[in-house]
C-alpha cells in the first residue's frame, strides 16, 4: 500500500521521449506519426495538438485509469500565433496543478 502511494500517477514514457529546450525539464516531446504530443516524465499529463483548418487546438489532459483522457485545460490558437508559447504555458499550468512534495516550497 505504501509503495502504491509513492508511485500513484507516475507514468513511464512510451518511447522515452526527448527533452525539449523550450519546456520545463520534466516534459518530453514524444514521437507520434499523426500529431505533436508532449508528455510529463513524472505524471500522467499530456499536451496534444489538434490541427484545424485555420487554428490549433492545444489540450492539456490526463489519462489516469480512465478509458478516455480527461481534459485539464485547452487553448485555441490561430495558426499564425506562437503555438510554442501556448505549449509552454500549458506545461507550466500542469506543473502548477501538482503540489510539490513536503519540504520543496
For residue 41, with 0-12 CB atoms within 10 Å meaning exposed, 13-18 middle and 19 or more buried, which class applies?
middle
Residue 102 has pLDDT above 70, yes or no: no
pLDDT at 100: 64
State residue 59's pLDDT score: 92
Query: ∠6-9-13 over CA atoms, to 5°?
Result: 110
What is the C-alpha separation between 16 and 102, in angstroms, rounded?
A: 28
The 10s digit of each residue's pLDDT in 38-74 is: 998 888 899 988 877 788 889 999 877 777 778 899 9
Q: What is the spatial distance between Cα 84 and Cα 89, in angstroms, rounded to a whole number?
A: 9
SS3 label, residue 43: coil
Q: Choose among 25, 60, 56: nearest CA to 42.
A: 25
Hey, how many other C-beta atoms are within 10 angstroms of the C-beta on 75?
19
Amino acid at each position: 500500500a505504501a509503495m502504491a502511494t509513492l508511485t500513484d500517477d507516475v507514468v513511464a514514457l512510451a518511447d522515452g521521449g526527448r527533452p525539449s529546450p523550450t519546456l520545463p525539464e520534466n516534459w518530453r516531446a514524444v514521437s507520434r506519426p499523426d500529431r505533436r504530443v508532449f508528455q510529463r516524465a513524472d505524471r500522467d499529463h499530456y499536451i496534444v495538438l489538434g490541427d484545424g483548418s485555420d487554428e490549433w487546438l492545444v489540450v492539456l489532459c490526463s489519462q489516469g485509469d480512465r478509458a478516455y483522457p480527461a481534459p485539464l485545460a485547452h487553448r485555441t490558437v490561430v495558426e499564425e500565433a506562437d503555438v510554442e508559447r501556448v505549449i509552454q504555458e500549458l506545461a507550466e499550468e500542469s506543473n502548477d496543478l501538482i503540489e510539490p512534495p513536503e519540504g520543496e516550497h
